[in-house]
Amino acid sequence: MYKIIFKILFFSFLLSTSFASEKINVFKFTEEELKTLKVRKVRGADSKTEYVVGKNENGNFLKAIANNAASGLGKEIKIDLNNTPFLNITWKVEKDLSGINERSKKGHDYAARVFVVKKTGATALSNRAMNYVFSSNDNVNDFHPSPYTKKSIDYVLATTKEHLNEWVTVKVNVKEHFKKFHDLDLDEINGIAIMADTDNSKLKSVSYYQNIYFSSD
């Protein structure tokens, strides 16, 4: 009798372990990590976006201040999209960029965005990207190609029209999006980048990032 109970409990443990949600953290948002991230200033921008780390009751976060500035923080990381296809982001926009046309070259700025990149050639221009944005003007689930390149799709996951100066947590299936928008059936992606930019609109934005990770569900 005891052996039967033990076997039931043991197999129940195996099943619960096998189907446990997998989670891969992308950023730690520490001073040490900030020094290792690749900084890329947008060509033509007057200055770089200011990035500083902080901490609240939910852990570390990154604050981005863009004052007529544009630069991103990149990290090369391979994510198995067959096991962990979902990108999760917790973020907030304190000062947005309302009133600009984000679909035009003159207004193509976002207070917060997270790029997911797949290398598809020898140069950066050949890469494909999903650009997940916290929009100041469009609606959630709106999407369009970047006005600068059709190889990058802007996809709205949050908007300040609904959540200004509020923390928002979003989730998106990256594998499905690369198939839908780029016709690529990917097994993995190669990199992630964070960027806040205001070089086109010449405005100022303030935003925050926290708990960026990939998950199995």
Structural domains in the chain, CATH included, are: 22-215 (2.60.120.260)
* pLDDT band at 137; cut points 50, 70, 90: very high
> What is the average pLDDT across 34-45?
88
What pLDDT, on a 0 to 100 scale, did the predictor assign at position 72? Answer: 95
**How far is it, in rounded angstroms, from Cα 119 to Cα 2?**
55
| Amino acid type, 164 | L
Length of the chain: 217
**Phi first, then psi: what are they for 69, rounded to 5°?**
-140, 165
**How far is it, in rounded angstroms, from Cα 39 to Cα 85?**
26
* pLDDT band at 168; cut points 50, 70, 90: very high
Closest to 196 measured CA to CA, from 135, 132, 110: 110
pLDDT above 50 (res 9): no
> What is the average pLDDT across 118-142?
89
